[in-house]
Structures are given as C-alpha cells and as structure tokens.
Amino acid sequence: MDPKLLTIEALSVHFHLPEGVARAVDGIGFDLQPGETLGLVGESGCGKSVTALSILGLVQSPPGRIEAGRILFESRNLLRLDAEGLRRIRGRDISMIFQEPMTSLNPVLPIGRQVAEPLMVHKALSRSEAMAEAAAWLDHVKIPAARKRLDDYPHQLSGGMRQRVMIAMAMVCRPKLLIADEPTTALDVTIQAQILSLMLMLKSELNMSVLLITHDLGVVAQMASRVVVMYAGQVVEEGRMTDMFDQPFHPYTRGLLKSMPRLGDRRAGRPPRLNEIPGTVPSLIEAVSGCRFAGRCPHVFDVCRKQQPDLFKIGAGQRARCWLKRYPDRRKPDA
Amino acid sequence: MPEVPLLKVNNLIKEFPLGGGLFAEPRARVRAVDDVSFALSRGETFGLVGESGCGKTTLGRLILRLVEPTSGDVEFDGQHILALGAKEMRLLRRRMQIIFQDPYASLDPRMKVNAIVTEPLCAIQNLAKSERKKVAAELIEKVGLRAADLDKYPHEFSGGQRQRISIARALCVRPDLIVADEPVSALDVSIQAQVINLMADLKKEFQLSYVFISHDLSVVEHISDRIAVMYLGTIVELAPAVSFSDSPRHPYTAALLRAVPMPDPHRKTEPFPMEGDAPSPIDPPPGCAFHPRCPHAFERCRVEKPSLVKTARQHFVACWLNNSRGLGIE
Ligand SMILES: Nc1ncnc2c1ncn2[C@@H]1O[C@H](COP(=O)(O)OP(=O)(O)OP(=O)(O)O)[C@@H](O)[C@H]1O
Ligand SMILES: Nc1ncnc2c1ncn2[C@@H]1O[C@H](COP(=O)(O)OP(=O)(O)OP(=O)(O)O)[C@@H](O)[C@H]1O
Ligand code: SF4
Ligand SMILES: [Mg+2]
Ligand SMILES: [Mg+2]
C-alpha cells in the first residue's frame, strides 16, 4: 500500500438552514499521496470549498455540521482533534490559500509581520529571526524590493502581489499539504501564469502535496496529476489527469470538457456552437432518489431516476458514479 | 460604395481626475482610454480583451455615452452621438444596450422579472399593462426561460438564468448594438456555454452587433469576428478572430496567448517570459507602454510611442518590431 498523506472517507457536511437541510458535501472520499497535486473541480456550489474547509476545521457552525466521515492526515483523524490540536496543524503541516487575498490578509497589519507570524507561533522563532525569514520568503515569491516592502500594508499591493504574500505566508512553515482554493481565479492570465509557475517551483522544492480547487480545466490540466470531479455534493468521477481528458466516463465530465471554448478553435475550424449541458444543478435541499445528474444527462434512462449509482471502477485508478458502467448499451453514441 | 459602419469610434480619450476636491486641482489623471479608434460593421462581433484596468469597461461606456469622453468622437449609424441633446440621446439609446458582468448586482432585487425586462422599453414609450406582459413573455421565452418566471424576483434565479434575464432586458428595445461587458465571466463553464450559444443565436435572429468585452481569450476568440487587444488604454493589436491565436504580431498578444493554461494535460504550457505587473495608467511608461515588460524592447520603444498600423489584411499592430520591418504603413 502506498503511504497516504490525506484520506477523506465518507465525509458528509450539512447546512441546517431555515428552508431545510442542504447536503453540501454528501459522502465524499478521496486521498492524496505525499508530493502529489490533486485537482478538485466542479460546478459552483458543488461543495469544493466546504470540503477544503472541513479539512482545516473551518466550516462555519452553525449552520454547518459535519455529519459523518473521517479525515485522516498522517493517520490521525482531524475530525477528532480539539481546537488546540487543529490550530497546531493549521499553518504548520497544512496551510491554505484562498481565492480572494483581501479577505484573508489582515488589512491593518504590515505584510512582513503577517508572513512572520506563523514562524513565531509554530516554530518559536524570535521576532527578528522570523522577520528575516519572512523577508527571504517575500523575496523568494518575487515581491520586488521585498526588504523595503516589509512595512507595506496589503492595500498598497496589486492583486498579484497580494496573492504572492498569501503564498509566502502559506509556505513559511514548509507545510506537507497546501490547500489552494481558486488561487488564481481573481487574477489576470499573465499574473496567473506567474503564480502557477511559482507554485510549481515551491511544490517541488518542498515536496509538498497540493489540493488544488478550481473550476478552470486549463489550470487543472497544467498543474495536477490526478483529478476529482464533484457534482452536487458528491464525487462523480476521479482518475488520472490524462485519462480524464482522453477517456472521461461520466456524462458530466464529458459535457464539461466539451462545453469549454478552446484557443485555436476558430483556426482549426471547429464548429462555432459550444456543447451545452442543459439545465442547472439540482437543489441540495430536496431529496433526490436517483442520479443527481439525471435531470441534465443526455443518456438518462429508467434506472438512473430510481436508484443512485455507485462510484464504479472504470479502469486503473478511474472511477465514475454512473449507471452506464452497468448498462453500457444505454450510452447514446452522439451525445 | 462601402456601407456606413454601424459604429465608428474616432480618437477617443478618457481621463479621470484623481484626488483633489470639488474646487481643488486633481493631483493626477488616469488616462483610462488613450486614443482609441475602430469601426464596427452591422452584424459584426467585436471582441475586446486585455488585463484588468486596461480600459475595456470605460471604452464600452464611452460607446454608449454613459460617460463623456475627454476628447474624440463616436458615430452611431452616421450620427455624431456626442452632439445629441438629451431627448435625441434617449431615442438613440433604444438602439444600443449594455449587459453587465455581475448577474447578481445588475438586476434590481425589488423588481419582478416582468418589470425588469420591459424597463428599457417603458422608459421610452407608454405600454399598457397587458401589452407589457406580452412583450415580456415573448422575450423571456427567447432567452430560454418560461413565462411563469416573469412573476419571480431575481434572487430566485441562478447566475446563468440571471444573465439570461439581462439579455432579455437588453433585447427588449430591439437594439442594433449590444455592448456586453464580461457577460459570462461570473458563470460556470457549462452555463457559460449556454449563454454564449444564446448570444450567438440571437445575433443571427436579430442581426445584432456586439462589442464583447472579456478577459478570457478563448471565449473572445470563440464568439468574435475581430478582436482588439488593449493595453493601458490603447489598442495594441486588432486582428480577425480566425487568425488571432495563430499569428499574434504584438509581443503582448503573444504573451497573453502563451499565458492561457491549455486544457490539455499532454501539452504543458511553456515557461512564461513576461515578468512584472501591468504598469499604472496614472504614470504610464514613456514610448511604448509595454516596453518595461517586453522581451524584445529596443531603444526606440523606450522613447517613441508606436501607432496602430496595418500589417496584413484586416490586421493592425502598434509595435515598432512590425514598423521597422517596413510592413505597409497605411
Ligand atoms: N456558511 C454557509 N451557510 C449556508 N450554506 C453554505 C455555507 N457555506 C456553503 N454553503 C452551501 O454549501 C454548498 C457548497 O458550497 P461551496 O462553497 O463548497 O461550493 P464550491 O464548490 O466551493 O463553489 P464555488 O465554485 O462557487 O466556490 C453551496 O450550496 C453553499 O450555498
Ligand atoms: N470613475 C473612475 N474614476 C477614476 N478612475 C477610473 C474610473 N473608472 C475607471 N477608472 C480607472 O481607469 C482605468 C480603466 O478602468 P476600466 O474599468 O475601464 O478597466 P477594465 O479594463 O474594464 O478592467 P477590469 O478587467 O478590471 O474590469 C483603471 O485604471 C481604473 O482604475
Ligand atoms: S447514471 Fe444515468 S443519468 Fe446519471 S449520469 Fe449516468 S446515464 Fe446519466
Ligand atoms: Mg468555492
Ligand atoms: Mg471592466
């Protein structure tokens, strides 16, 4: 057996809202090896961020509640740790980068202090040692004239520079796992390219594992070696990056790949119409008896509406939650 | 006789004052749009791409005269719109509409869909209630929603559905031109495809022209006939969409294209040569505004600003590399 850094098993997170119980995460599971980058993709609202927040014990509660499951980090169940135990792991062994740096950087604290903070908390460095190390990290993430900018406040930096500060902050303690939740979505492509190559460089330097959450299939294809596709709170497909692009199984994965415009489409004379996935995601509050994708699926048949499909094994490392595995002749050839 | 273009933008400049008070002199000026000219034919989609802050939204608003330019001129169907009075301008507005990026912020949460989609029409003519309902029902079905949705409020819809409502609202007055400012940027890929296809269908059905603003190059390439790349307020390259990704002539366009992560694990994007952030429009670099980030910059680029010149059929570039090669200056 391979050593796993992180294993999530049958995790369910529900939000208890006035209008009902929203099953934001409904029995998901996946694992992450040391040094691996795993992509987590799926439609907005499918539960990607809630999954990430669960790992760090940051799900807002109430209304959120972890109903079931285990999150094993180096064989320890994080869901069993108390607040103090989690705090020790957060920022040291596991750290997180959020989509919008302004919400996670402290606006009234100079950036040098913010990067130095985790070192003082987790590594017991003195203030001056920590500041020296912070300066080195800001330099490393290519903040121009880093040493002169230690006293700058976040609002004095551009969006791309703030994201670099976030990365420096997440990296100072050399975590084993980095959770990056849409780390570049708010950035321009040119800055995104810089941030992504910075993440790749640091990842190989520190031999870190990365859980990369994004809805950008381009980013995932460039960064991850494996991918998990979520739909309405569940894992619907997982597999090696190359398999997912070359032979996706689940109709949602296929639809997603086909609905994306690609650079060069025009030149290649590909048809001007994009493939659409009709309809919208189902409500997480209403109970669904069958497959959650049934309402939008071009292949849907009687079984799909009655019974929820399992995550069937498709091939080496590839699994998909779809009845077509059992009833292959039901797949419509042209959809 | 070439036909009169639907829209002609001539040497548009827009400066915003920064700092200063009501009576004080502003401390500085931002040149958000810096000498932009182009023409748009009937039925054409003109894509506008570029990094955040390069002036796309400002240009879109100038075209509709939602802001007044510092100088320059906009002609719509042969009329100089800046010379029009308030009343004439209001009439012209029915021929040009705008769709905004954020489907959450751009619809009035207290209005029902029925009132939202017919508002632009009611602003210019009196409509009986029943007539209004009929128009609304027709529009809402055109954009793929149901008549039953007319009595709902915006919060009852998903992002993609709200963007359909914005489109229905823009179509209400049967415009000739729609400026769509990042209409799909807030949407999921699968929903984005629905909205892009819808816009393409409506364009055919109603002979619409679009100015389509986006920072997503793949989306713009997909929907546009021609694409303009903006950098710090100026158009640096203007090319037909079919050859856009193939033969970029401006180093900035090349860098942008190279930076797009390929949705293909077998083709890893090459390492990225362009360093640094986009410079501030408050204090733009002299010469070519791109020179501090440009891998090819030479002396002339640092002192003299290149203008947009023709380098091939329908292809215009503002870069000394193209000029100095002596490609036909028009
Ligand atoms: N604090 C909360 N209170 C109530 N519901 C919540 C809360 N946080 C998340 N949810 C709900 O849980 C579901 C999953 O949300 P989550 O943020 O994980 O989605 P996501 O996949 O990260 O989407 P996105 O791509 O838009 O970031 C959504 O339906 C959301 O509305
Ligand atoms: N009302 C205003 N007052 C002062 N400056 C402004 C104003 N509107 C825009 N600007 C400035 O003009 C420049 C161009 O802004 P604009 O919103 O047109 O860019 P954009 O290309 O649409 O960017 P984005 O992709 O972020 O939407 C920016 O530097 C912006 O800060
Ligand atoms: S189980 Fe049925 S409805 Fe669900 S994705 Fe597969 S074919 Fe489609
Ligand atoms: Mg999220
Ligand atoms: Mg804008």
Average pLDDT, integer, range B199-223: 94
Query: Residue with the nearest Cα to atom 19 of ligand 1?
Result: A45
CA distance A260 to B2: 37
Give Cβ neighbours of residue B288 (< 8 Å, ≥ 6 apart): B294, B297, B301, B302, B304, B305, B306, B318, B319, B320
| CA of A60, closest atom in ligand 1 | 1
Predicted TM-score of the model (pTM)? 0.91
Report the amino acid identity of residue A91: G
Summarised one tens digit per residue, pLDDT across range A295-324 is: 999 999 999 999 999 999 999 999 999 999
Structure confidence at residue B97 as a pLDDT band (50, 70, 90): very high
Q: By CA distance, what is B195's nearest residue in A?
A: A276
Structure confidence at residue B210 as a pLDDT band (50, 70, 90): very high
Q: Is B279 in the pocket of ligand 2 (CB under 6 A)?
A: no
Query: Residue with the nearest Cα to atom 29 of ligand 2?
Result: B53
CA distance B328 to B330: 6
Q: Does residue B326 surpass a pLDDT of 70?
A: no
Q: Does residue B157 surpass a pLDDT of 70?
A: yes
Structure confidence at residue B327 as a pLDDT band (50, 70, 90): very low
A26-35, A70-79, A211-220, B26-35: least confidently modelled range: B26-35
Query: Residue with the nearest Cα to atom 1 of ligand 1?
Result: A60
**Ligand 3 centroid from CA A126, angstroms:** 58
Q: Does residue B329 surpass a pLDDT of 70?
A: no
pLDDT at B2: 61
CA distance A10 to B72: 63
CA distance B198 to B196: 5
Average pLDDT, integer, range B11-36: 83
Helix (H, G, I), strand (E, B) or coil at A270: coil
pLDDT at A266: 81
Q: Is B190 in the pocket of ligand 2 (CB under 6 A)?
A: no
Average pLDDT, integer, range B18-32: 74
Domain contains A265: yes
Report the amino acid identity of residue B102: D
Q: Does residue A167 surpass a pLDDT of 80?
A: yes
Query: Residue with the nearest Cα to atom 24 of ligand 2?
Result: B52
Contact A96, A56 (CB under 8 A): yes
Which residues numbered 141-160 in A keep a CB inside 8 Å of some CB on B? 144, 158-160
Summarised one tens digit per residue, pLDDT across range B256-270 is: 999 999 999 998 877
Q: Is B281 in the pocket of ligand 2 (CB under 6 A)?
A: yes
pLDDT at B213: 96
Contact A78, A72 (CB under 8 A): yes
pLDDT at A32: 97
pLDDT at B248: 92
Domain contains A290: yes
Q: Does residue A278 surpass a pLDDT of 50?
A: yes
Sign of the Cα torsion B52, B57, B60, B65 reads negative
Q: Which domain holds residue A277?
A: 253-330
Contacts of B188 in chain A (CB under 8 A): 43-44, 215
| CA of B57, closest atom in ligand 2 | 22
Q: Does residue A241 surpass a pLDDT of 50?
A: yes
pLDDT at A157: 86
Domain contains A325: yes
Counted across chains A and B, CB pairs separated by less than 8 A come out at 134
> Touching check for A127 and chain B: CB below 8 Å?
no
Q: For strand A318-320 and strand B79-80, is the pairing parallel, antiparallel, or unpaired?
A: unpaired
Average pLDDT, integer, range B123-133: 84
Contact A161, A188 (CB under 8 A): no
Averaged confidence pLDDT in chain A: 92
CA distance A288 to A307: 9
Tell if the CB–CB gap between B265 and A192 is shorter than 8 Å: no
Query: Strands of A234-240's sheet, edge to edge?
Result: A94-97, A177-181, A209-213, A37-41, A226-231, A234-240, A318-320, A312-315
Domain contains A227: no
pLDDT at A320: 98
Averaged confidence pLDDT in chain B: 89
Q: How many Cβ atoms sit within 10 Å of the Cβ of residue B297? A: 18
| CA-based nearest residue to A160, from A131, A183, A179, A180 | A183
Average pLDDT, integer, range A181-191: 86
Q: By CA distance, what is A186's nearest residue in B?
A: B52
Phi–psi pair at B80, nearest 5 degrees: -80, 105
CA distance A157 to A142: 13
CA distance B208 to B200: 9
Contacts of A216 in chain B (CB under 8 A): 261
| CA-based nearest residue to A13, from A23, A21, A3, A4 | A23
| CA of A284, closest atom in ligand 1 | 29
Give Cβ neighbours of residue B327 (< 8 Å, ≥ 6 apart): B309, B310, B311, B312
Query: Residue with the nearest Cα to atom 18 of ligand 2?
Result: B55
Domain contains A111: no
Structure confidence at residue B24 as a pLDDT band (50, 70, 90): low
Q: How far is CA A281 from CA A45, A215, A231, A293, B157, in A?
A: 9, 15, 8, 8, 12
Percentage of residues in chain A having pLDDT higher than 70:
99
Structure confidence at residue B324 as a pLDDT band (50, 70, 90): low
Average pLDDT, integer, range A157-168: 88
Q: Does residue B143 surpass a pLDDT of 60?
A: yes
Of A217, A257, A265, the CB nearest to B221: A265
Here the tokens at position A191 are 């800055």
> ipTM score here?
0.88
Helix (H, G, I), strand (E, B) or coil at B198: helix
Of A161, A190, A274, the CB nearest to B193: A274
pLDDT at B22: 63
A101-105, A137-141, B32-36: least confidently modelled range: A101-105
Q: Does residue A218 surpass a pLDDT of 90?
A: yes
Contacts of A190 in chain B (CB under 8 A): 51, 255-256, 259, 272, 274, 278
CA distance A323 to chain B (A): 22
pLDDT at A128: 95
Q: Does residue A73 surpass a pLDDT of 60?
A: yes
Domain contains A287: yes
Average pLDDT, integer, range A212-219: 93
Tell if the CB–CB gap between A267 and B246 is shorter than 8 Å: yes
Ligand 5 is an ion; its neighbours by CB within 5 Å are: B 57
pLDDT at A178: 97
| CA of B54, closest atom in ligand 2 | 21
pLDDT at A68: 97
Structure confidence at residue A268 as a pLDDT band (50, 70, 90): confident
Ligand 4 is an ion; its neighbours by CB within 5 Å are: A 49
CA distance B293 to B276: 7
pLDDT at B20: 59
A16-30, A263-277, B37-51, B225-239: least confidently modelled range: A263-277
Domain contains A268: yes
Q: Does residue B193 surpass a pLDDT of 60?
A: yes
Domain contains A189: no
Number of domains forming the structure of chain A: 1
Query: Residue with the nearest Cα to atom 22 of ligand 1?
Result: A49
pLDDT at B123: 78
Here the tokens at position B77 are 């169907």
Contact B277, B270 (CB under 8 A): no
Tell if the CB–CB gap between B218 and A188 is shorter than 8 Å: no
Q: Does residue B1 surpass a pLDDT of 70?
A: no
Q: Does residue A1 surpass a pLDDT of 70?
A: no
